[in-house]
Amino acid sequence: MTVETKLPYDQDYVRSFSENKKEPEWMKELRLQALDLAEGLEMPKPDKTSIKRWNFDDFKHDVDGEMINSLNEVPEDIQVFLDMENHNDNLVIQRNQSIAYKSLASGLSEKGVILTDIQTALQEHSDLVQRYYMKDAVQIDENKLTALHTALMNGGVFVYVPKNVQIEEPLQAIFWQEDPEAATFNHVIVVAESNSSLTYVENYFSQNKEEHAVANIVTEVIAHDNAKINFGSVDNFAAGTTVYVNRRGVAYRDANIEWNLGQMNDGNTVSENVTHLIGDNSNSYAKTVSVGRGKQSQNYTAKIVHFGKQSEGFILQHGVMKESASTIFNGIGKIEHGATKSNAEQESRVLMLSKDARGDANPILLIDEDDVTAGHAASVGRVDPVQLYYLMSRGISQQEAERLIIHGFLAPVVKEIPIKAVREQLTEVIERKVY
Amino acid sequence: MASSTLEIKDLHVEIEGQEILKGVNLTITGGEFHAVMGPNGTGKSTLASAIMGHPKYEVTKGEVLLDGENVLEMEVDERAQAGLFLAMQYPSEISGVTTSDFLRSSINAHREEGDEISLMKFIKEMDEALDYLEIDKNMAQRYLNEGFSGGEKKRNEILQLMMLKPAISILDEIDSGLDIDALKVVSKGINKLRDESFGCLIITHYQRLLDYITPDKVHVMMNGRVVKSGGPELAKRLEAEGYDWIKQELGIEDETVEQKA
């Protein structure tokens, strides 16, 4: 059965939205082209999760947010994500769909590093944005949501590090969905030119428990020859926001992309994290931790596709499901013909804390080349009542015992995360979700 | 601290529908060390697990009272907070949780909120106990029981016992799998706790442990009951003559009630 869905926004709306923002002509054309395509495209079909009844239509598209003068003005729940003592000089805060705060260390801007909101990037670096926007990583017509994303994009950041520039300190973006119904159609582009390196950390945050909103996010991460990108994220959308997040990496020769994703949304979520290892000797390590609670349904795909010779991919995902949350973890290692001496490894583990929680891990290896190595491990299980008994026999309450077991279960991933800020944020958010 | 009394009265326990304990009676008071002995499969470990509240064991009849309070109505954590401790024969492995974090959570669970043990004091006490039990300090940072040798697990149980200082402790075959040096160290830890406020129930089927920890009373279990009680001399006779004379005396042919471990 096909359902004719009327798109909530038409050509006139999209055209005037783009014109009001004084976007370059190419962006306006791309939006209109995408809107045309969206009509005829199918919704994404995540394996084993039905998203037919999820809200992808009910949201406010165009919502401004006010500037802030000091980081003390952001709510305490967001301050957790900021290092309030040693202010991060490289920070963008987006409030609803406006930029609220922006700073970049002068030493970095002198070297040609760009960390700015996507609208400013379209004004000041139009050619550079056009070079990467929905080109090498995500395609407009992958599904209805990628097309809608392109048509309705209303925020995001652009990060660019020139050749041979190595950045030690993290570049950070905070996306604060303050209006409970504001849509987050964010586009994030992270480009590391040859021989450069960077660490980027982003946080999504909302508080809409009842009100409906939609997040439709595309992130494109490009590591040129011998570049190294360390990408960290802690997603923290509240229960009212339906999330589609597509994070895609492309690694060229000798390049490295490391993903550290804390998938801590409280609402229904489809997350695709795909890396294309294009160049010889490129590699990617994709780590995910997740805590599901309430009635949320989630579907995570971590996929690494090997094209280059001697490319290495490793997927590690651990998830804990509470209450009646349900989550599917798909791990896909794909080795294309010609990618000799490549190695695809993955490990997925799911722990369920209640009888109504559901979890599943699907390890998939698709291999079209003989001279390779690959492996997978997956487990899905419930909390062992004898473990709880042991901990409780020392006076520890059941709640505290479960807290210890959850932290312990997620620890092997959390401690692997090389970015201290993300590790600490994650521990904090896990703590909040466990109770 | 005043001494506590643990009373076990006519305790009947089933596991998966099979009755293992068929009316156990025992009373332990602070200051006393009792040994429960008997061949394998006579219900000794079931007694320990049932008192602590292991999820697999079902009490069908009888009472367990700690200072008059009904232990069987308490949750497992409440039993511990009331003053009970069980050094387990097979402690669980908890991945990702360090021994040190677990110990600190356990100690704080016995204290009021806002009165948690300071990190400095905790580390000092833990280091002293580790030294006393001749345990490598690295163990504190290893995940709880994960990859521990049999001996390390047993020492870790005694480490917890020494730091939690319960009113009544049950030691379930704490000597099994220990070499003679480890046995001496573990015994030293238990003997250090001996005073008027500490009562101990030592479950073992070897006399060997009792060479290092002298019991005040010795009980023999067969067929899910305590069939004989006496002083330390009873343990000596069991070491010399085995259990057959008791079986003959009582006319027991098969003393077991469960499958042997």
Q: Domain limits of chain A?
A: 11-382
According to DSSP, residue B83 is labeled T
Residue B207: its pLDDT value, please?
84
Q: Is the predicted pLDDT of residue B144 greater than 60, yes or no?
A: yes
Q: In the structure, what pLDDT confidence band is assigned to residue B1 with cuts at 50, 70 and 90?
A: low
Contact B75 A389 (CB under 8 A): no
Q: Which of A4-18, A93-107, A326-340, B63-77 comes out lowest in average pLDDT? A: A4-18
Contact A408 B94 (CB under 8 A): yes
Residue B258: its pLDDT value, please?
64
SS3 B165: coil
Return the higher-pLDDT residue of A57 and B15.
Answer: B15
Contact B77 A405 (CB under 8 A): no
Contact A411 B105 (CB under 8 A): no
Residues of B in contact with A391 (CB under 8 A): 92, 94, 102
Q: Is the predicted pLDDT of residue B260 greater than 50, yes or no?
A: no
The answer, for A392 touching chain B at a CB cutoff of 8 Å, is: yes
- State how far residue B87 is from chain A, nearest Cα, in angstroms: 9
Q: Is the predicted pLDDT of residue A256 greater than 80, yes or no?
A: yes
| Cβ pairs A/B, distance under 8 A | 83
The residue of chain A with its CA nearest to that of B142 is A408
Residue A184: its pLDDT value, please?
95
CA B169 to chain centre: 5
Q: Report CA Rg, chain B.
A: 18
Residue B28: its pLDDT value, please?
97
Contact A393 B75 (CB under 8 A): no
CB nearest to B86's CB, from A387, A393, A411: A393
Residues of B in contact with A386 (CB under 8 A): 54-56, 92
Residues of B in contact with A379 (CB under 8 A): none
Q: What percent of chain A has pLDDT over 90?
A: 78
Q: In the structure, what pLDDT confidence band is assigned to residue B79 with cuts at 50, 70 and 90?
A: very high
Domains of chain B (ranges, CATH numbers) = 5-97+167-250 (3.40.50.300)
- State how far residue A415 is from chain B, nearest Cα, in angstroms: 10
- List the beta bridge partners of residue A232: A201, A260
Q: In the structure, what pLDDT confidence band is assigned to residue A58 with cuts at 50, 70 and 90?
A: confident
pLDDT in tens, A183-209: 999 999 999 999 999 999 999 999 999
Q: Is the predicted pLDDT of residue A4 greater than 50, yes or no?
A: no
Cβ(A73)–Cβ(A100) below 8 Å: no
Candidates B97, B107, B160, B162, partner chain A, best to mutate (most A CBs within 10 A):
B97
Residues of B in contact with A389 (CB under 8 A): 52-55, 76, 92
φ, ψ of residue B16 to 5 degrees: the values are 45, 45
Contact A389 B80 (CB under 8 A): no
Q: What residue type is assigned to position A146 of the chain? A: T
Contact B76 A389 (CB under 8 A): yes
pLDDT in tens, A142-160: 999 999 999 999 999 999 9
Q: Is the predicted pLDDT of residue B215 greater than 50, yes or no?
A: yes
Closest C-alpha among A342, A332, A334, A409 to residue A373: A342
pLDDT in tens, B162-190: 999 999 999 999 998 888 999 999 999 99
Residue A317: its pLDDT value, please?
95
Determine the Cα–Cα distance for residues B238 and B11; give it in Å rounded to an integer.
25
Cβ(A232)–Cβ(A421) below 8 Å: yes
Contact A389 B54 (CB under 8 A): yes
pTM for the complete prediction?
0.85
Residue B228: its pLDDT value, please?
95
Contact B101 A404 (CB under 8 A): yes
Q: In the structure, what pLDDT confidence band is assigned to residue A1 with cuts at 50, 70 and 90?
A: very low
Residues of A in contact with B75 (CB under 8 A): 392, 398
Residues of B in contact with A396 (CB under 8 A): 77, 80, 105-106, 109
Q: Is the predicted pLDDT of residue B126 greater than 90, yes or no?
A: yes
SS3 B128: helix
Q: 3-state secondary structure string, A7-42?
A: CCCCHHHHHHHHHHCCCCHHHHHHHHHHHHHHHHCC
CB burial of A85-110 (b: ≥16 within 10 Å; e: otherwise) equals: eeebebbbbbbbbbbbbbebbeebee
CB nearest to B55's CB, from A385, A397, A409: A385
Residue A2: its pLDDT value, please?
42
Q: Is the predicted pLDDT of residue B122 greater than 60, yes or no?
A: yes
CB nearest to A391's CB, from B85, B94, B164: B94
Residue A240: its pLDDT value, please?
94
The answer, for A382 touching chain B at a CB cutoff of 8 Å, is: no
CB nearest to B102's CB, from A386, A404, A409: A404
Determine the Cα–Cα distance for residues B134 and B129; give it in Å rounded to an integer.
8
CB nearest to A412's CB, from B77, B96, B102: B96
**Which A residues in the span 216-275 are in contact with B, Cβ-Cβ below 8 Å?**
none
- State how far residue B70 is from chain A, nearest Cα, in angstroms: 16
CB nearest to B97's CB, from A385, A397, A407: A407
Candidates A386, A389, A393, A403, partner chain B, best to mutate (most B CBs within 10 A):
A393
Mean pLDDT of all residues in B92-116: 93
Q: In the structure, what pLDDT confidence band is assigned to residue B261 with cuts at 50, 70 and 90?
A: very low
Contact A407 B95 (CB under 8 A): no
The answer, for A390 touching chain B at a CB cutoff of 8 Å, is: yes
Q: What percent of chain B has pLDDT over 70?
A: 98
Mean pLDDT of all residues in A155-181: 95
Q: Is the predicted pLDDT of residue B222 greater than 60, yes or no?
A: yes
Cβ(A272)–Cβ(A299) below 8 Å: no
Residues of A in contact with B85 (CB under 8 A): 393-394
Contact B96 A408 (CB under 8 A): yes
Q: Which of A171-175, A332-336, A373-377, B1-5 comes out lowest in average pLDDT? A: B1-5
Candidates A316, A318, A386, A390, partner chain B, best to mutate (most B CBs within 10 A):
A390
Tokens of A344: 């695809």
| Torsion over CA: B51, B53, B56, B61 (sign) | positive
- State how far residue A299 is from chain B, nearest Cα, in angstroms: 25
Residues of A in contact with B81 (CB under 8 A): 395
Mean pLDDT of all residues in A15-20: 95
- State how far residue B253 is from chain A, nearest Cα, in angstroms: 34
- CB-count burial class (<10 Å; 0-12, 13-18, 19+) for A316: buried
CB nearest to B109's CB, from A384, A396, A407: A396
Q: In the structure, what pLDDT confidence band is assigned to residue A5 with cuts at 50, 70 and 90?
A: low
pLDDT in tens, A350-399: 999 889 999 999 999 999 999 999 999 999 999 899 999 999 999 999 98
Angle in degrees, 0-180, between the axes of helices A25-40 and A144-152, rounded to the nearest 10: 150
Residues of A in contact with B97 (CB under 8 A): 404-405, 407-408, 411
Q: In the structure, what pLDDT confidence band is assigned to residue A78 with cuts at 50, 70 and 90?
A: confident
- The mean pLDDT of chain A is 93
The answer, for A384 touching chain B at a CB cutoff of 8 Å, is: yes
pLDDT in tens, A310-339: 999 999 999 999 999 999 999 999 999 999
Q: Across A224-323, where does the E strand assignment appear? A: 228-236, 241-251, 256-263, 269-277, 283-292, 297-306, 312-321
Residue A11: its pLDDT value, please?
93
Q: Is the predicted pLDDT of residue A8 greater than 80, yes or no?
A: no
- State how far residue A408 is from chain B, nearest Cα, in angstroms: 3
Residue A7: its pLDDT value, please?
64
Residue B194: its pLDDT value, please?
95
**Which A residues in the span 75-94 are in contact with B, Cβ-Cβ below 8 Å?**
none
pLDDT in tens, B25-68: 999 999 999 999 998 889 999 999 999 999 999 999 999 999 99
